[in-house]
Amino acid sequence: MTKHVWITGLALVILGGIAGTALADNWSLTLDTPDQTADPGGTAVFSGTITNDTGGDLLVDASLDFFTSPESELFTVDFADELLALDLTVPVGGYTGPLFEVTWTNEAPQGIFGEGLLVVSADAPADPMTASAAFTLHAPGVNAFCVEATGFDAATSSIAVNDSTGTGLIAYNDGGAGSLELASVVGQSWTTETIATGIGTSAAPSLGLDGNLGPHVVFFDDIGGDLGYAERAGGIWTVSLVDTAGIVGAWPSLLVEPSGDLHVSYYDATNQDLRYAERIAGVWSVEIAVAADAVAKYSSIALDESGEPNISYFDESAGALAIAWRDGGVWMSETIDAAVGPVGTWTSLAIRDGIRSIGYRDETPGAEALKLATGTVGSWTIETVDANGSPGLSTSLALNSFGRPRVAYVDGASGETRFASKTDGVSWEIGVVDDGNTIASAALAQSVSDEPFLSYGSTASSLRFASINSCNVVAAPESGLPATTSLLLHPNRPNPFSPATVISFTVGRKAETRVRIYDASGRLVLEPFRSMAEPGTYHVEWSGLGKNGHPVASGVYLYEVQSGDQKRQGRMVLLR
């Protein structure tokens, strides 16, 4: 397995959007600029406000805990001039201004963002108090993906995330063997298993996981011209045909509900219709979603707020992007984008809070672009995401926990796999995951903690896998000891969790080591581990209790492991 690091487009996760914390009525700390941007090699200044209604001067002492990117010391942190002495007298009424600054120490940092905590202690007239505030730093157009060449032959692929293990599962069509395979990460090794054989080279599989993490795959059997379906139960794959009426099943899109109910959109080449199949309580039924020779290709399916299927597709007869939806058992459709075109190939649909988001390709000659349409039936907003080269092949869209779009896609001109994200909800940040090695088969999935995972095929017919969190883990030698003297943080398991999770880490050298857990606003919740740790791997369980022994609320929590001068951090989601 070959692992490379590529610098690519940003996917930033903000710590809960909370700027600061007030711990007493008579004084408080607020970061006025908790989320900052700096160019690689540049400096960002964080400003804040310390209020003081104590009736006298307030003596404060400030400190910073900064979480750097894995295996790289990328940042230096200094207090601004007003706080350089670390002892600041805040008069009655308070102080507003620069508090500290962060400088990238690397012109091309190997990390997607930096996070930290500003902690201020005050010697108030009544009694000492402490407040903290979380901050984030990112560089525009910068991201770090670990790209792995699995060694498997792949023509097309689809990816899903197993949130209990934090790893990717990839269904792919082995073009050389004409088979359907499933690849998965076990530790630091890739394994593959055959799902079906004799299906040809255009299977275009679509993969989903049910509530028990059981895999389901739909695919096009281009030898028989049928829509196929496979599911694994008890370690055994069962393959069946869902629709055999003519040549059907191209461009399939699968949605799996936690219950195991299935929803599939696909193309009927014989009648040039858009079809929809659903399996409810184990029984399949097939419907025509859009008829009348719509030539409905490149479909993508999602469920709306009523649990009804919505399908985006390319209406080739009109050269336009369109959407179909079922309401009360009746299928309806409308055109969204009918520019000069053709426009609307490679669609990818997601729905959140009643808003449809569709990524797609505009193939207007000389003006090719990746576009995004958002809105509701009858009211759409269209924007250009990327018009550099010939982007938008194999578009795959997902929404993060803030509802902000992320898109993986291929640029046909350069062969690059690209990743675009709307971090701040306003502007797009675009980067390259893999440079000039991609065939049009990029697929995107993300974990419950917003970590993106990509699969795609290279020009060497090699299936590749790109992720961010896999950069945190380094394979250990056969002796079981850490491969380096670095502190290695492994993703907590399970995540999300209820009622308990285990935080695992590997210490490379003897050092005082501690584990701290913070809430989304940066407040310390608990320090469950503190010890002079010998080299080895440790497992710390957290059962969702705070320092007072009482259960904490559901939500996102940050955990930090510090060993000597090294720090690593991760996120976890508690569900009550």
Phi, psi of 522 (to 5 degrees): 100, 5
Per-residue pLDDT averaged across 452-460, rounded? 78
* Residue 241, number of CB atoms within 10 A of its CB: 14
Which pLDDT band holds residue 70 (cuts at 50, 70, 90)? very low
The token pair at 516 is 């701290």
pLDDT (0 to 100) of residue 27: 78
Nearest residue to 517 via CA among 533, 500, 532, 534: 500
- Indicate if the pLDDT at residue 26 is higher than 60: yes
Least confident of 43-52, 69-78, 372-381, 530-539: 69-78
C-beta separation of 199 from 187 below 8 A: no
| Amino acid 258: pLDDT | 92
Torsion angles phi and psi, residue 552, rounded to 5: -95, 165
Q: Which of 326-330, 472-476, 527-531, 539-543 has the highest mean pLDDT?
A: 326-330
Greatest mean pLDDT among 263-267, 412-416, 485-489, 538-542: 263-267
More confident call, 511 vs 400: 511
Among 425-439, 456-470, 491-505, the range of highest mean pLDDT: 491-505
Rounded average pLDDT over 11-15: 25
Q: Strand, helix or coil at 476?
A: coil
pLDDT tens digits for 211-233? 888 999 999 998 999 999 999 99
Q: Which two tokens stand for residue 289?
A: 């979603």
Q: How confident is the model at residue 425 (pLDDT cuts 50, 70, 90)?
A: low
Position 91: which residue type? P
Averaged confidence pLDDT in the chain: 79
Q: What is the pLDDT of residue 74?
A: 55
Backbone angles phi, psi at 198, to 5 degrees: 70, 35
d(Cα 199, Cα 418) in Å, to the nearest integer? 30
- Alpha-carbon distance of 343 to 362, in angstroms, equals 4
d(CA 490, CA 569): 10
Query: Above 50 in pLDDT, residue 6?
Result: no
Q: How many whole angstroms separate alpha carbon 135 and alpha carbon 165?
A: 28
85 pLDDT band (50/70/90 cuts)?
Answer: very low
* Rounded Cα distance, 166 and 184, in Å: 11
| Mean pLDDT value across residues 46-51 | 85
CA–CA distance, 308 with 150 (Å, rounded to integer): 37
In angstroms, rounded to a whole number, what is the distance separating the alpha carbons of residues 532 and 46?
34
- What's the pLDDT at 463? 81
What residue segments make up the domains of the chain, in order of their start? 6-138, 145-467, 488-574
pLDDT(25) > 60? no
**pLDDT bracket for residue 567 (50, 70, 90):** confident
Task: Kindly report whether the peptide bond that precedes residue 496 is cis, defined as omega within 30 degrees of 0.
Answer: yes
Domain 145-467 has CATH 2.120.10.10: yes
Fill in the amino acid letter for 25: D
pLDDT of 22 over the 80 cut: no
Q: Do domains 6-138 and 488-574 have the same CATH topology?
A: yes
> In terms of pLDDT, which residue wins out, 404 or 232?
232
Q: Which CATH architecture has domain 488-574?
A: Sandwich (2.60)
Predicted pLDDT at 148: 64
Q: Which ranges of 398-486 does DSSP label H, i.e. alpha helix?
A: none
Q: Which two tokens stand for residue 460?
A: 């060497």
List pLDDT tens digits, range 248-292.
Answer: 999 999 999 999 999 999 999 999 999 999 999 999 999 999 986
Higher pLDDT pick, 440 / 304:
304
**pLDDT recorded at residue 197:** 93
pLDDT reported for residue 118: 74
Mean pLDDT over 404-423 rounds to 87
Q: What is the value of pTM for the model shown? A: 0.64
What confidence tens digit (pLDDT) does each residue in 107-133 have? 544 344 566 667 777 765 555 566 767
Instruction: Name the strands in the sheet holding 179-186, side by side, starting at the edge strand that comes first in the sequence.
Output: 156-162, 167-174, 179-186, 189-196
Instruction: Indicate the pLDDT class of residue 449, thresholds 50, 70 and 90.
Output: low
Weakest mean pLDDT among 72-76, 378-382, 487-491, 557-561: 72-76
- The pLDDT of residue 210 is 92
- Where does the pLDDT of residue 237 fall: very low under 50, low under 70, confident under 90, or very high at 90 and above? very high
* Phi-psi sector, 536: left (phi>0), alpha (psi -120 to 50), beta: left
Q: How would residue 416 be classed by pLDDT, with cut points 50, 70 and 90?
A: confident
pLDDT higher than threshold 60 for residue 141? no
Fold of 6-138: Immunoglobulin-like (2.60.40)
Integer Cα distance of 215 and 262 in angstroms: 12
